[in-house]
Amino acid sequence: MSKPVIALVGRPNVGKSTLFNRLTRTRDAIVADYPGLTRDRQYGTGRTGNHPYIVVDTGGLSGEQEGVDPLMAGQVRSAIEESDAILFLVDGRAGLIPADEAIANYIRQFNKPTYLLVNKAEGHSHQLISADFFQMGLGQPFVISSAHGDNVKETIDHILDEVVTEEEEEKAFDLDEHPGIRVAVVGRPNVGKSTLINRMIGEERVVAFDMPGTTRDSIFVPFERDGQAYTLIDTAGVRRRKNIKEKIEKFSIVKAIEAMESCNVVVLVIDGSEGITDQDLTLLGLALESGRGLVIAINKWDNLTEDQRNKIKHELEFKLHFVDYAKKHLISALHGSGVGDLFKTIRGVYQAVMKKVSTSDLNRVLEQAVLDHQPPLIGGRRVKLRYAHLGGSNPPRVIIHGTQVDKLPQAYTKYLMNVFRKAFKWQGTPVFIEYKVTV
Ligand code: GDP
Ligand code: GDP
């Protein structure tokens, strides 16, 4: 159930970010242009065929002398440790160079499934361009062109087929057995996640379910409140720390992404005394991309000076345009103030994202939207939006069929999003719109 994580490793300039962009492109296309959205260019999600995955670009390893730039080493190491497979990229045009061998040696110590990808191969004989690389002892190289897409899909399919084992499926926490609202509590270390989680769950005796496997796994905690069932997805590991003496939380973006993907509603906790940091913005960007419902909790409100309060209110207004659909709550996890309201919002968002919308209602709203505001002329011809249907909920995905829809400007998509949001009261959730070209 949890998505396999693949790490892209290699020297600078071998084409990692080009491959990364190709592997995460589907998501980019869905998420419209939100001004101010911070994208983490290192972490992304994608899907090929039946396989969803998380991809991490580990950045450049120099491969010089000790093999790795010591400053980078820590980050790269934890990225690799969190991954299920290593995709080691080399530059087919440059041929095998000593730095590649140094990186190969570095990678070997992790004992992870490793795949050698020979990139920049377009227009070259696969046999010739990969010949050099056999001697690295990493098996048959996959010959690809990230820039042109040659053999990329086939390679990723093959790798994911091998990585996703049945064993992993069995280990997964069975969400079907625990119906109710799945809430992921995410945030940087020390913002108060554990304190909030304990508040939310109260003194109830709960059984925590570990998602066993790797270090990055979250804990699932089913509980009830006011007659409503919830499963809390605890990325801070608070409920585990109680049992086993666990070392301090290690911040993991992958863990946050996975928690977001497994939930209905994300509660993103921000430390009010620190303001909104770049890492908070990264997490918010990921929350948007995940498509889940979102509530923002500004924590430690009890402990803020008047200046700090004003500063954060200002930041909320000016930094968070791209998640303007999310409600902001000023809370104190320590004292419990605001937590009741937080629950109300979570329930409201859940109801909004699960709401059934009929095709006829959807089309009625689309028709009216087009009447109010015609799509533009493109190449002298009017873009026609013929009909729509709902492609899914949580997030609501509206699929619109029409002519030249692939050429619609972002502003029009934004307009439609707002119209749909208003009409169907899709509060606290992004609305994804996809187009299908008909002739
Ligand atoms: P990174 O430093 O490993 O992330 O490498 P980049 O993705 O930034 O790519 C480095 C350079 O190689 C850029 O100029 C890319 O356009 C180019 N590049 C990447 N993939 C390919 C490819 O498949 N073929 C060719 N010819 N160039 C590529
Ligand atoms: P986590 O790393 O995100 O799980 O954060 P913790 O829940 O461990 O909290 C980090 C620190 O912030 C602890 O010392 C908490 O007591 C403190 N803290 C958490 N919530 C609040 C709050 O609402 N107000 C104040 N003043 N301190 C808080």
Residue 64 has a pLDDT of: 60
The pLDDT value recorded for residue 208 is 56
Closest CA relative to residue 426, chosen from 353, 359, 369 = 353
The number of the ligand nearest the C-alpha atom of 129 reads: 1
Half-sphere exposure of 250 (CA within 13 A, CB side): 15
The Cα 197–Cα 204 span in angstroms is 12
- The response to whether 421 counts as a known ligand-binding position is no
Asked if residues 13 and 64 have their Cβ atoms less than 8 Å apart, the reply is no
Residue 60 pLDDT class (50, 70, 90 cuts): low
The mean pLDDT of the chain is: 86
The answer to whether 300 is annotated as binding is yes
Q: Say whether 238 counts as a known binding-site residue.
A: yes
**Residue 252: its pLDDT value, please?**
83
Residue nearest to atom 24 of ligand 1 (CA): 120
Greater model confidence, 409 or 164:
409
- Residue 164 pLDDT: 79
Q: What is the pLDDT of residues 65-123, one digit of tens each?
A: 444 455 556 777 878 888 999 999 999 999 999 999 989 998 998 999 999 999 999 99
As a whole number, mean pLDDT of residues 326-355 equals 96
| Ligand 2, atom 2: closest residue by C-alpha | 190
Locate 325 and state its tokens: 């659909």
pLDDT of residue 24: 86
Give the 3-state secondary structure of residue 111: coil
Please name the residue whose Cα sits nearest to atom 6 of ligand 1: 15
Confidence of residue 277 (pLDDT cuts 50, 70, 90): very high
Question: Which of the residue ranges 203-212, 295-304, 313-322, 355-364 would you say has the lowest mean pLDDT?
Answer: 203-212
**Residue 50: per-residue pLDDT:** 76
Give percent of the chain with pLDDT exceeding 90.
57
Angle (CA) 431-405-435 rounded to 5° is 40
What is the distance between the alpha carbons of residues 428 and 297, in angstroms, rounded to a whole number?
13
What one-letter code names the amino acid at 88? F
Cβ(38)–Cβ(79) under 8 Å? no
Angle between helical axes of 278-290 and 253-262 (0-180°, round to 10): 30
Q: Which atom of ligand 1 is nearest to the CA of 57?
A: 4
User: What's the pLDDT at 335?
Assistant: 95
What architecture does CATH give domain 181-354? 3-Layer(aba) Sandwich (3.40)
**Which distant-in-sequence residues (6+ apart) come within 8 Å of 369 by Cβ?**
415, 416, 419
What is the atom index within ligand 1 of the atom nearest the CA of 89?
Answer: 3
What contacts 88, CB < 8 A, 6 or more positions away? Answer: 9, 10, 103, 104, 107, 114, 115, 116, 117, 138
What separation in Å is there between the alpha carbon of 15 and the centre of ligand 1?
4
pLDDT band at 358 (very low <50, low <70, confident <90, very high): very high
Q: Which DSSP string corresponds to 224-283?
A: EETTEEEEEEESS-HHHHHHS--PPPPP-HHHHHHHHHH-SEEEEEEETTT---HHHHHH
Give the pLDDT score at 245. 46
- Asked if the domains at 5-163 and 359-437 fall in one CATH topology, the answer is no
Q: What is the Cα–Cα distance from 107 to 85, expressed in whole angstroms? A: 11
Question: Looking up tokens 């690809």, which residue turns up?
Answer: 144
**18-27, 248-257, 317-326, 388-397, range with the lowest pLDDT:** 248-257
pLDDT band at residue 44 under the 50/70/90 scheme:
confident
- pLDDT band, residue 214 (cuts 50/70/90): very low
347 vs 238, 267, 294, 330, CA distance in Å? 23, 12, 11, 17
CA atoms within 13 A on the CB side of 61: 31
Residue 302 is predicted with a pLDDT of: 97
Q: Is 426 annotated as a binding residue?
A: no
Decide the pairing of beta strands 114-119 and 85-91: parallel
Options 3.20.20.210, 3.60.40.10, 3.40.50.920, 3.30.300.20; CATH for 359-437 is: 3.30.300.20
Report the alpha-carbon distance of residue 316 to residue 322 in Å, rounded: 11
Q: How confident is the model at residue 243 (pLDDT cuts 50, 70, 90)?
A: very low
Instruction: For residues 148-170, give the mean pLDDT.
Output: 81
Query: Domain segments of the chain: what residues?
Result: 5-163, 181-354, 359-437
Lowest mean pLDDT among 27-36, 290-299, 417-426: 27-36
Which residues make beta-bridge pairs with 390?
A: 398
Quickly state the pLDDT bin for 35 (edges 50, 70, 90): low
Say how many Å lie between the CA of residue 166 and the centre of ligand 1. Answer: 35
pLDDT of residue 321: 86
Residue 90 annotated as binding? no
Ligand 1 centroid–CA 82 distance in Å is 25
Q: Ligand 1 atom 9: the closest Cα is on which residue?
A: 15
CA-based R_g, the chain, Å:
23
249 CA from centroid of ligand 2 (Å)? 13
- Which is the CATH superfamily of the domain at 5-163? P-loop containing nucleotide triphosphate hydrolases (3.40.50.300)
Q: Give me the mean pLDDT over the 330-353 stretch.
A: 96
| pLDDT score of 37 | 59
User: How much of the chain exceeds pLDDT 70, in percent?
Assistant: 83
Residue 212 has pLDDT above 60, yes or no: no
- The pLDDT confidence band at residue 217, using thresholds 50, 70 and 90, is low
State the Cα–Cα distance between residues 217 and 258, nearest whole angstrom.
Answer: 8
Cβ of residue 130 lying under 6 Å from some atom of ligand 1: no
pLDDT of 240 over the 60 cut: no
State whether the Cα torsion 103-108-114-118 is positive or negative. Answer: positive
Instruction: Name every residue whose Cβ is closer than 8 Å to that of residue 174 and which is 6 or more positions away in sequence.
Output: none
The C-alpha angle 234, 239, 244, rounded to 5 degrees, equals 130
Does 246 score more than 70 pLDDT?
Answer: no
- CB 13 less than 6 A from any atom of ligand 1: yes
Q: Please, what is the angle between helix 193-201 and helix 339-354, to 10°?
A: 80
